[in-house]
A and B are shown apart, each in its own frame.
Chain A
Amino acid sequence: MGSSGKAQAEVMKQLIPETVDDWRAVEDNFYDPQTIFDYIDGAGEVYRAYNFRLLLSRRFLGPAEQVIFVDLFYMGSAADAFGVFTHDREGEKLPIGQGAVYKGGLLSFWKGSYFVSIYAEVENQKTKEVVLQLGKVIAARIQEESSLPAIINRLPSTSLLKDEVRYFHNHLILNYHYFVAEENILELDNQTEAVLGFYQLNKEKTKERTVLLGIQYPEEEKAKRAWQKFIHYYLPEVRARKDTFVQTENGLWTGIWQKQDLIAVVFDAPSREAAASLLANFLHPNQ
């Protein structure tokens, strides 16, 4: 760990209390993107996909040797802290940090550049109280508060399922939430910012979801290339005409537009007009 890493580690140690109720911290371990697999196996890929810098795992022991893990991830940016939080948003929503959910003994929340996971190996009313108490203390100690990544605000809000929004960078995470293709046909990487919005446009078919994928590339040239590649592989019909909407095999509409360094793709819209409306509102949010 370099000197900046050591300084960050010291900051992180101060963010987690040493004791809470009858529980006391018994062990600290730090992990970086190279060593995280020693701790959480393949799940480490999720945090690596969001460019995490350092993880402090503090283990607490309580009555009857019960264990609670506090995993404090320093993500390096608020955007990535928010992003990794959106990876799993299921659970009871709670007002901790800048967004929190609780389920099955696990509290997850984000605040500033930190993503925090607090997990009780045995879930009961008492451990839940301790987990939430730890969360509140840690959230209060993190002074930084940040706004959401700008690309999130481009998502048209009408009919948007707000608790299902995902923010990410690479195509493996895209496929995790909404499979597009095995190959990285949209040329996503750690330099791209992407957002997935799920919409319930059809009031009669409540299970039907329309998906809006928005991507910001570091430069216009990359966006153009990705646009061409997507059409080549996914919408080959479009090559022969100007219209970039296609009614696909399931009877729903898919379309793609590009504007400068932005690409927006709609999947499974109930009509061509609905698809066009989502694309237009994403690419021209103020019009």
Chain B
Amino acid sequence: MKKPVTRRDFLKITAAVPLAGLLPAEELFRFNSRKASQSSSRARVVLIRDPEALDNHKRPRAEVIQQMMDKAIMTLLDEKDPVEAWKRLIKPSDIVGIKSNVWRYIPTTTEVEQAIWRRVRDVGVPEENIAIDDRGVRRNPIFQKATALINARPARTHHWSGMGSCVKNYIMFVPRPSAYHGDSCADLARIWFEYGLKEKTRLNILVMLTPLFHGIGPHHYSEKYTWSYCGLILGVDPVAVDSTGLRIIEAKRKEYFGRERPLQPPAKHIFLAETRHHLGVADPAKIELITLGWEEGRLI
């Protein structure tokens, strides 16, 4: 039996609209559907997994990561050669910033960064026109004049935004990141427009090698709540990439805890990136998900 839509559900998707005359449940459903269908594009997302991606110490194997990236990008862009695929995203004249993430416990990883860097070089971008950075992007001269961005970060739950996502990864372009903390970071997608990042971003990579599916304490980390998923999610649409990663994390939580256990707080910024900010699509029905490689434990 479907759960009824309650006024609490309604108030999750509307900003303090009085329940004048009280909308019946059917109307609430219709309202939900209207909100969700405002954006109609279908976004391709590639999930690739390889059980050999990590060594016995859970460190990424560079050659396997490169192969995974190559296969994924070829599939994403319907090309037979990885460099040809990258040429669809980057021109030799581009100045390229690779936005990474250096979080102490689960970083983007050097192996992923280098796999991107190598292919950007293969396209013909000179070394001096490429930079990899996270917390220093505002001061980095390459990022300051970048014409193209590649956004790569690890997937993890997050104490305040629900999930550390590709959308969220651009918070370091903001002078005062805490200004976006309101309402569980609901409006993170705004950054992409306010700082001219949407047009520059050519590819988003959510690193799912050892995702964190539950966080504890001030550091929001315990190895106990990570697992070797050995995956990468690639897409041009950051919201579609995040939404796919979020579904996997939610599925892992259900598997681990033995029951539905929604993220606290919910990763509402991903859904609002679609419904409020129109940065991309979060609704799985609007995402063309292509899965490659290792199937066991895929969770999606």
Residues of B contacting A43 in the complex (Cβ-Cβ under 8 angstroms): 159-160, 218-220
Looking at A12-20, A177-185, A278-286, the stretch in contact with chain B turns out to be A177-185
CB pair B4 A250 closer than 8 Å: yes
Residues of B contacting A105 in the complex (Cβ-Cβ under 8 angstroms): 222-224
Chain B, interface size: which category? 35 or more
Minimum Cβ distance to chain B for residue A279 (Å): 19
Contact (A172, B11) CB under 8 Å given A42-B159, A104-B224, A185-B16:
no
CB pair A42 B158 closer than 8 Å: yes
CB pair B218 A40 closer than 8 Å: yes
Chain A, interface size: which category? 35 or more
Residues of B contacting A41 in the complex (Cβ-Cβ under 8 angstroms): 103, 158-160, 220
Interface bits B1-28 vs A (CB < 8 Å: 1, else 0): 0011111100110111111111001001
Q: Which A residue's beta carbon lies closest to that of B14?
A: A182
Minimum Cβ distance to chain A for residue B188 (Å): 10
Residues of B contacting A104 in the complex (Cβ-Cβ under 8 angstroms): 216, 222-225
CB pair A106 B223 closer than 8 Å: no
Looking at B123-131, B143-151, B175-183, B195-203, the stretch in contact with chain A turns out to be B175-183
Asked if A164 is an interface residue, CB under 8 A from chain B, the answer is no
A-B residue pair count with CB separations less than 8 angstroms: 119
Residues of A contacting B114 in the complex (Cβ-Cβ under 8 angstroms): none
Minimum Cβ distance to chain B for residue A31 (Å): 10
Give the residues from 154 to 191 in chain A that come closer than 8 angstroms, CB to CB, to chain B.
Answer: 172, 175-177, 179-183, 185
Residues of B contacting A103 in the complex (Cβ-Cβ under 8 angstroms): 216, 222
Asked if A69 is an interface residue, CB under 8 A from chain B, the answer is yes
Residues of B contacting A46 in the complex (Cβ-Cβ under 8 angstroms): 159-160
Which of the residues A45, A182, A183 comes within 8 Å of B181, measured between beta carbons? A45
Asked if B140 is an interface residue, CB under 8 A from chain A, the answer is no
A–B complex contacts, Cβ < 8 Å, 16 sampled = A41-B220, A42-B181, A43-B218, A46-B159, A47-B218, A105-B224, A117-B218, A119-B219, A122-B223, A179-B11, A180-B8, A180-B11, A181-B12, A182-B186, A183-B15, A250-B6
What is the interface of chain B, defined by CB distance below 8 A to chain A?
3-8, 11-12, 14-22, 25, 28, 103, 158-161, 177-178, 181-186, 216-220, 222-225, 264-266
What is the interface of chain A, defined by CB distance below 8 A to chain B?
37, 40-47, 69, 71, 88, 90, 103-106, 108, 117, 119, 121-123, 172, 175-177, 179-183, 185, 232-237, 248-251, 267
